[in-house]
A and B are shown apart, each in its own frame.
Chain A
Amino acid sequence: MHQMHGTGETGAVQPAIELRGIDKRFGAVHANKEIDLKVDKGTIHGIVGENGAGKSTLMSILYGFYQADAGTIHVDGKLCDIKGSEDAIAAGIGMVHQHFMLVETFSVLENVILGVEGGAVLRDGVDRAREELHRLEREYSLDIDPDAIVGDLSVGLQQRVEILKALFRGAEILILDEPTGVLTPQEADHLFRILETLKEQGKTVVLITHKLREIMAATDNVSVMRQGAMVAHRKTADTSPEELSELMVGRKVLLRLEKEQAQPKDTVLKVENLCVENAQGVRKVKNASFDIRAGEIVGIAGVSGNGQSELLEALGGIRAASEGVVELNGQDVTPGKGVDAAELRRRGVAHVPEDRHRMAMVTAFSAKEAAILGYEDDPAYQKGVFLDWHAISDATAKMMSEFDVRPDNPDLKAANFSGGNQQKLVLAREIMRDPELLLVGQPTRGVDIGAIEFIHKRIVAMRDAGKAVLLVSVELDEIMSLADRILVMCDGAIIGEVAASDANERVLGLMMAGVDPSEAKAVEGQS
Chain B
Amino acid sequence: MSTTVQLPRWIDVGALPLLNLLLALVVSGLVVLAIGENPAEVVEILLYGAFGYEEAWGYTLYYTTNFIFTGLAFAVAFHCGLFNIGAEGQAYVGGLGVTLAALYLDFLPFPIMLVVGMLAAMIFGAAWAYIPAYLQARRGSHIVITTIMFNFIASSLMVYLLVNVLRPEGSMTPESEQIAENLRLPFIHDIAGALGIEMASSPLNLSFVYAILASVMVWLFIWHTRWGYAIRTVGANAVAATYAGIEPGRFIIIAMMISGALASFMALNEIMGVQHRLLIDFTAGYGFVGIAVALMGRNHPFGIFLAALLFGMLYQGGAELSFEIPTISNDMVVVIQGLVILFTGAMEHMFRPRVTKMYTAWRLRRDAQEAV
- Where the two chains meet, the residues of A that have a C-beta atom closer than 8 Å to any C-beta of B are 25-29, 31, 57, 66, 316-318, 340-345, 351, 353, 358-365, 369, 372-374, 376-377, 382, 385-387, 389, 413, 416
Contact A26/B3 with A317-B245, A365-B236 known, Cβ cut-off 8 Å:
yes
Q: With A342-B246, A362-B240 given, can you name 17 additional A-B contacts, CB distance below 8 Å?
A: A25-B364, A27-B364, A342-B245, A351-B243, A353-B243, A359-B243, A362-B232, A362-B233, A362-B237, A363-B237, A365-B232, A369-B229, A373-B240, A374-B244, A376-B229, A382-B226, A386-B224
Residue from B1, B220, B225, B236 within 8 A of A362 (CB atoms)? B236
Point out which of B226, B236, B243, B367 has the most chain A C-beta atoms below 10 A from its C-beta. B243
B243 / chain A contacts, CB cutoff of 8 Å:
316, 318, 341, 351, 353, 359-360, 373-374
Q: List 28 A-B contacts (CB under 8 A).
A: A27-B4, A27-B364, A29-B1, A31-B1, A317-B245, A318-B243, A341-B244, A341-B245, A342-B245, A343-B245, A351-B243, A358-B237, A358-B240, A362-B233, A363-B236, A365-B232, A365-B236, A369-B229, A372-B229, A374-B243, A376-B229, A376-B244, A377-B226, A386-B220, A386-B224, A386-B225, A387-B224, A387-B226
| CA–CA, A389 and B223, complex, Å | 10
B209 in the interface (beta carbon within 8 A):
no
B37 in the interface (beta carbon within 8 A):
no
Contact A374/B245 with A26-B3, A416-B6 known, Cβ cut-off 8 Å:
yes
B2 in the interface (beta carbon within 8 A):
yes
Q: Which of B179-236 touch A at CB < 8 Å?
A: 220, 224-226, 229-230, 232-233, 236
| CA–CA, A28 and B1, complex, Å | 12
B138 in the interface (beta carbon within 8 A):
no
| CA–CA, A28 and B367, complex, Å | 8
B236 / chain A contacts, CB cutoff of 8 Å:
362-365
Binary flags per residue of B233-268, CB closer than 8 Å to A gives 1, else 0:
100110110111111000000000000000000000
B325 in the interface (beta carbon within 8 A):
no
The 6 closest A-B pairs by CB, nearest first: A342-B245, A341-B245, A374-B244, A386-B224, A364-B236, A362-B237
| CA–CA, A413 and B3, complex, Å | 17
B275 in the interface (beta carbon within 8 A):
no
| CA–CA, A364 and B247, complex, Å | 19
| CA–CA, A495 and B230, complex, Å | 40
Q: Which residue on chain B has the smallest CB distance to residue A364? A: B236
| CA–CA, A315 and B232, complex, Å | 25
Chain B interface mostly: helix
Q: Which residue on chain B has the smallest CB distance to residue A375? A: B244
B247 / chain A contacts, CB cutoff of 8 Å:
340
B5 in the interface (beta carbon within 8 A):
yes
Q: Which residue on chain B has the smallest CB distance to residue A383? A: B224
A340 / chain B contacts, CB cutoff of 8 Å:
245, 247
B363 / chain A contacts, CB cutoff of 8 Å:
27
B360 in the interface (beta carbon within 8 A):
yes
A362 / chain B contacts, CB cutoff of 8 Å:
232-233, 236-237, 240
Residue from A343, A344, A345, A376 within 8 A of B230 (CB atoms)? A376
Separation in Å of the B361 CB from the closest CB of chain A? Answer: 11
B230 / chain A contacts, CB cutoff of 8 Å:
376
A27 touches B360 (CB 8 A): yes
B224 / chain A contacts, CB cutoff of 8 Å:
386-387, 389
Q: Which residue on chain A has the smallest CB distance to residue B360? A: A27
A416 / chain B contacts, CB cutoff of 8 Å:
6
B220 / chain A contacts, CB cutoff of 8 Å:
386
A57 touches B1 (CB 8 A): yes
| CA–CA, A363 and B363, complex, Å | 24
B1 touches A360 (CB 8 A): no
A28 / chain B contacts, CB cutoff of 8 Å:
367
Residue from B229, B242, B364 within 8 A of A318 (CB atoms)? B242
B239 / chain A contacts, CB cutoff of 8 Å:
358-359
Q: Which residue on chain A has the smallest CB distance to residue B242? A: A318
A372 / chain B contacts, CB cutoff of 8 Å:
229
Point out which of B229, B230, B364 has the most chain A C-beta atoms below 10 A from its C-beta. B229
Binary flags per residue of B328-372, CB closer than 8 Å to A gives 1, else 0:
000000000000000000000000000000001001100100000
B246 / chain A contacts, CB cutoff of 8 Å:
342
Residue from B1, B226, B229 within 8 A of A26 (CB atoms)? B1
B242 / chain A contacts, CB cutoff of 8 Å:
318, 341
| CA–CA, A387 and B360, complex, Å | 35
Separation in Å of the B244 CB from the closest CB of chain A? Answer: 4
Separation in Å of the B233 CB from the closest CB of chain A? Answer: 6
A376 / chain B contacts, CB cutoff of 8 Å:
226, 229-230, 244
Point out which of A31, A359, A389 has the most chain B C-beta atoms below 10 A from its C-beta. A359
Residue from A29, A361, A387 within 8 A of B240 (CB atoms)? A361
Contact A342/B244 with A387-B224, A389-B224 known, Cβ cut-off 8 Å:
yes
Contact A373/B233 with A341-B244, A387-B224 known, Cβ cut-off 8 Å:
yes
B1 / chain A contacts, CB cutoff of 8 Å:
26, 29, 31, 57
B225 touches A385 (CB 8 A): yes
Separation in Å of the B300 CB from the closest CB of chain A? Answer: 14
Q: Which residue on chain B has the smallest CB distance to residue A317? A: B245
| CA–CA, A374 and B4, complex, Å | 32
A317 / chain B contacts, CB cutoff of 8 Å:
245
| CA–CA, A304 and B44, complex, Å | 67
| CA–CA, A364 and B6, complex, Å | 13
A363 / chain B contacts, CB cutoff of 8 Å:
236-237
A26 / chain B contacts, CB cutoff of 8 Å:
1-3
B245 / chain A contacts, CB cutoff of 8 Å:
317, 340-345, 374
Separation in Å of the B12 CB from the closest CB of chain A? Answer: 12
Separation in Å of the A318 CB from the closest CB of chain B? Answer: 5
Separation in Å of the B247 CB from the closest CB of chain A? Answer: 7
